[in-house]
Amino acid sequence: MSRVALSVEGLTENEFCKKVLTPFFRDYSIEMTPITVTTSKDKCGRKHKGGCINLDRIKSEIQRLLPSFDYVSTFYDFYGFNDRPTDDVDELEQIMFELFNDSKFIPYIQKYEFETLLFSKPEYYIEYFGDDKISKAMQEMIDKVLDIELINDSPQTAPHKRLEKLFELQHESYDKVFHGEGIACDIGIETIRANAKRFNGWVEKIINLAQ
């Protein structure tokens, strides 16, 4: 059994790993453990976790994890990455890798954020809400870009912002933690993989670690 630490930026990604990724990878003899980045301390020295990802913070975090696991990977949102030296996701991952130049480290950044994956199955929302209002609006967004991982214009129209507006059509509020992990679990990782090529590329890298 290969032990993989997954450094995540917040509770949503942590829950996604525990409920969706970890059970999936166990079938490949991989035990994935999510660990939320410690990002700050208060005046009493208590640690706070989540958000505010940058190169300095993840450097100390990954250095701490590498000796304790067979491999270390990451699951950070591109929009959650502060002071990033490039706007190219692939280049940013390469910069992260070069901080350590260690084959045990497999950096991954979600383009553009976790909520992208929740666009994998528009028809799911017909059953969820009891009508096709959201699924039709979501499909129109997807048709414009052809790739759900390209659903993005700016931080103001990022996937989670779009989901918030879509949920408002049903007079509901999108809750990142509650809805995020729950919808991803219902949609299923195989459907997500089939519709998110970049994400699937990372999944395959992790699967190959056990071979």
Token pair of 69 as six digits: 């696991």
pLDDT of residue 152: 83
Which pLDDT tens digit goes with each residue over 115-142?
Answer: 999 999 999 999 999 999 999 999 999 9
pLDDT of residue 60: 92
With H, G, I as helix, E, B as strand and everything else as coil, classify residue 81. strand
Q: Which of 51, 50, 77, 82 is nearest to 152 (CA)?
A: 77
- Please list the ranges in the chain whose pLDDT falls under 50: 40-50
Domain boundaries, the chain: 2-113+193-208, 114-190
pLDDT of residue 51: 54
Rg (CA), the chain: 17
pLDDT of residue 79: 87
pTM: 0.91
CA distance 54 to 148: 25
Contacts of 103 (CB under 8 A, 6+ apart): none
What CATH architecture applies to the domain 2-113+193-208?
Answer: 3-Layer(aba) Sandwich (3.40)
